[in-house]
Amino acid sequence: MHENITLLRPDASRPRDPHRISSVFPPDIMDQVRRRVRLLALLMTVAFGLDLVVYGANLTLVLLGDPPPDDLAEPWAMLVNLGAVSASMGLLWVVRNERVSASRLHAVGLGYQIMICFSIAITSFSQYYVTTGTLPNLTWVPAMIILFPLILPGPPNRMLAAAIAAGAMAPVALLSLDLAGKVAADSEAIFQVSIHSAIAILFAYTGARVVYGLGQEVTAAREMGSYRLVEKLGHGGMGEVWRAEHRLLTRPAAIKLIRPLATADASPDASDDLRRRFEREAQAIARLRSPHTVELFDFGVAVDGAFYYVMELLDGLDLDTFVQRHGPMPAERAIYLLRQVCHSLSEAESCGLVHRDIKPANIFLCRYGEDDDFVKVLDFGIVKAVRESAATGTLMTQDHVIHGTPAFIAPEQALGYVDLDGRVDIYSTGCLAYWLLTGQLVFTAETPMALLVHHAHTPPAPPSQRTELPIPPALDRLVLSCLAKNAAERPQSARELSRELAAVELAREWTQDLAGRWWREHRPG
């Protein structure tokens, strides 16, 4: 880790190629663009298709002997409609094809805009003239020109060129119809159509600049040092977790954004103090090298004051989700996972750190390299140094505030004690074991405060009484010892707990072969 914290500033953003749409708009926004373009293409397909259906129905009636209606379109006009339907269906195919890049989609979309404006102009002028003998005062071409930069945003100059080309389709279509003798259009009518297009082009260019600028702002706001935010993975009480990508290495990562705990009247000195505390905390976490502790790549402070961690991106599921989907697990597998948790906590203890929020949602089970059922301990966000005084408390560990999750909190935490050590993590690990073995919480209550009272005073029922799965008596006793109200009666360290877990006699051991078989059956992807 570097000695100084990374402080992001607006001028630290990466250079962008204005001709590459993907360099301006994040992938999730481009996904929204794809959905909008797909909806537009679908609407155009239906609109022009309905004209073909109506024309086909009228033509069938004429062939059966009915007199032709006064507004029956000419066959060449239907060929224009057919071309518009074909182009719309082609755009639908391009949008649905994920292999088509954002830049290619944008080029195809702008070409579609020009073609569809010509089709709208031809059909509007010709059909209105056939029906009324006059030209319409306004067509849908200006609306299409104005809406397109909002549906498919892009660099303003490129959008202006496409808008000019699309706007020119209205007077070109009218002049073509006049030369072909299909309508009677004088110079005033062509001038009026041109004015309508010019006004629409002006609005389109203004809209393109606004949307493009917003896209740049969103992209810049999502840049965290060398990383770019790609997709939100989840959010919680302390912040958000995003899938991210290194700008140069294209290495995937997970970024946790943590909201600053500053008040509205916080002074600059207080903000600097917050940043120093966050830096001290992140550097403490970065010292951890256990393979079962999530690896911290980087940390920093964003322009808006949000703190962030850059961590390795894992593929799997947390133990809260695991039990909810698959139910409680056999004792041998629970022990196999708990010992890995102990490995992470033991190193944290040796560095004088207490996690203080061990719970199923913070224990991630994954496939890691060649290993299955590999555990990663997450979210050291409220970690606390054992020898830390109240004056030097870390950013996320202010005194006189109860930290942790009520369903997995140690009695001394629930009672608000300041001098906490690694035995609070032993208690939470006991709650975790209880969840894995039974699929139930140690205590349930209607309010968080009632849960705190239970953890502080209520004796827990043995896990063997809360499940039909067999639990070895030694493991039953060990879990209850972890849940002792008096910290002196618990295993005194994660290393000691790991040894006691290893000493439990089991009918069979959980192995990599068994783990691999489970993953192949339940999560083949």
CA 157 to chain centre: 31
Cα dihedral 275→279→280→282 (10° resolution): 130
Alpha helices, DSSP H, located in 64-155: 75-96, 102-132, 141-151
And the tokens for 495?
A: 């290393």
Report the C-alpha gap between 77 and 461 in whole angstroms.
81
And the tokens for 262?
A: 């500053």
User: Considering only CA atoms, which of 183, 44, 46 is closest in space to residue 116?
Assistant: 44
Q: Catalytic residue among 51, 298, 318, 357, which? A: 357
User: Considering only CA atoms, which of 412, 406, 349 is closest in space to residue 380?
Assistant: 349
Cβ pair 460, 480 in contact under 8 A: yes
Beta bridge partners of 231: 243
Tell me which DSSP letter residue 350 carries: H
User: Considering only CA atoms, which of 339, 374, 334, 346 is closest in space to residue 290?
Assistant: 346
Q: Which residue type, as a one-letter code, is found at position 344?
A: S
The β-bridge relationship of strands 6-7 and 296-301 is parallel
Report the C-alpha gap between 254 and 312 in whole angstroms.
6
Report the C-alpha gap between 189 and 523 in whole angstroms.
66
Alpha helices, DSSP H, located in 135-238: 141-151, 156-179, 187-221
Cβ pair 477, 491 in contact under 8 A: no
φ, ψ (nearest 5 deg) of residue 452 = -60, -40
The β-bridge relationship of strands 252-258 and 307-312 is antiparallel
Reply yes or no on whether 357 is catalytic: yes
- CB burial class (10 A; 0-12, 13-18, 19+) of residue 237? exposed
| Residues found in the chain | 525
Beta bridge partners of 218: none
Buried b (16+ CB within 10 A) or exposed e, 32-56: ebbebbeebbeebbebbbebeeebe
With residues binned 3-state (H G I as helix, E B as strand, rest as coil), the percentages for the chain, rounded to 5, are 55, 10, 35
What is each CA distance from 439 to 296, 326, 361, 372, 488, in whole angstroms? Answer: 31, 9, 13, 22, 27
Cβ pair 513, 479 in contact under 8 A: no
Q: Which residues are catalytic?
A: 357
